[in-house]
Each structure stands twice: as C-alpha cells, then as structure tokens.
Amino acid sequence: MKQTNLIIGCGYLGRRLLKVLHGERNYVVNRFEQKKAIDAANDNHQIISNINDRQSWHSLDALSEEQSIRIYFMVPPSQIDRLVFSYFIERLNKLDIQNSILVSSTIVYGNKDRIVDADSGVNIDSERAERQCFLEQEWLAVIKRGSIIRFAGIYGPDRVIGKNGILKGRTINSDPDGWLNLIHVDDGVQLLKCIATMDEYGSIELASDGNPIKRSEYYSFLADTLEQALPNFNHDNNIRGVGRRCDNRLTIMRTGWQPEHSDFRKSISNLIKQNGN
C-alpha cells in the first residue's frame, strides 16, 4: 500500500519535499492553483482550499478514505487567521493521521545572543515570534500525533540568501556582527521525512546546519564568490539584537538525522557555479 501524504502550503520547501516523496500518494493543498502543474500521473493531487475559509474545507473529503496519512503543514503564519486555526486543526483530526508536522521557525528563540537547541525555551521579543509561538502551541494542543520542526534560514537551488542584494549593490540593513543560522533545503526535507516516519511524536526539533555565521562573514564570502564589491551595512535602527546561535546536536542525537550540507561555503559555491550569477 502506498504511503499517503498531505502537504499543506506547498511553497519552496514543500515542492522540494514533493520530489523526495516521489512514488507515494501525495495531496498538495494551496489557496490557488500552482503555476507549476502537479504531476497527476505520478499520483500527485492538487487540492484548492483556504485554511481561513471553512466553506473550502470540504475539499479535504478527498482524503476521507485514505489511511495513515502523514501531514506536513508549512503555511506562513502571516497567512493564518488565528480565530479559525484550531477549528482547521480539528477538521484535520477527522482524517486517519499517522504523523503531523508543523514547520515553524527559529524566530521563537528571540534575538538575544545565546546558544539554543531544540529544547531551549522561547524568547518572544517580536510580533512575528509571538504569532509563530501561538501556532506552535495550538498545533501541539489540538492536532493528533503532532510534532514541530523549527527551521533556520532555508537556502538551496534558486534560493541563495542575499544573492540579489549583493548583485545589485544594496546596503544591508542589519548588524554585521549579528548571527545567521542556515539549513540547506535538502537537509530540511530529510529531517521532515525522518520525523514523519518515527513512532514517537510531540517533540520539537531544530533544522539547522549547526554552524552559525556572522552576517559580515557570510555576506563578505558571498560577495567574493559572486565577484562583487563587499557590502555596506546599516544597522543604525537595528534594535533586534545580534540573534541566537543554533546547535543541532540534540536533534541529531534524538532522530539519527545528519545534515549533508554542514559547510555553507562549499554548498553555496556549488550552487553559484551550477547556476551562474
């Protein structure tokens, strides 16, 4: 019997996940039809539904006969109406759920300079962090067999963080001494798959390459690789703090997952060589 997967919010990460789930039965939920067609010949099915519109939830009836569904929820918090989120989760609970994963963000750790891992407490110091934390709490409180993965900054093919700004010579409005935490999209996808297949649930894990880098070092490396001028930084109005440093060792120990792209310099160099400037 084929494994059935439900991907809710199929953006950059979701599309990469869909490729890895090739050969399984995949249902993809988006508010609008995707520009790139879902390949129905490979048992991929598109569902048009808005999680904020209860009338559209009937489209989930397409999964009513499916068994042991793995749910990957990756809708940006800015697109979610808090007032209906728990009701949408209850609608999902009518399905036969094997595992359900919410893709979250390391933003919930706040911007204080500290080392954080998957078990570190949150530090809500912004509206974005508060909104993300609310969704995490609702997810774990309501969904069946739920887990959370907090993602660092995702990069990969066609997505190199800061590349366009460097090519256009833009000033970087941030603290050069602030920390960046990164995760290659393919490593993130493998962690998603790993946790989706585990018997345990209810955990919070951290998707990061485990090698925080200062912004000044990252952007200088990027400029050099792109053969562009070194960037200028403007952080006069930056009140966010220098940021957290993500330690992935606890997640590695608990899941057996191992990121292959732990050296962002090598990975980004390869991406730029493959695609050019």
Residue-wise pLDDT for 228-273, tens only, equals 999 999 877 655 568 999 999 999 999 999 999 999 999 999 999 9
b vs e for 55-68, b when ≥16 Cβ sit within 10 Å of the residue's Cβ? eebeebeebeebee
Burial of 232 (0-12, 13-18, 19+ CB in 10 A): exposed
Q: What is the pLDDT of residue 90?
A: 98
Entry pTM? 0.95
Q: What is the pLDDT of residue 27?
A: 96
Q: Does the structure show a pLDDT above 70 at 57?
A: yes
Q: Does the structure show a pLDDT above 60 at 130?
A: yes
How far is Cα 260 from Cα 80, in angstroms, rounded to an integer?
A: 32
Domain 4-275 has CATH 3.40.50.10540: no
Q: Does the structure show a pLDDT above 70 at 36?
A: no
Q: Does the structure show a pLDDT above 80 at 13?
A: yes
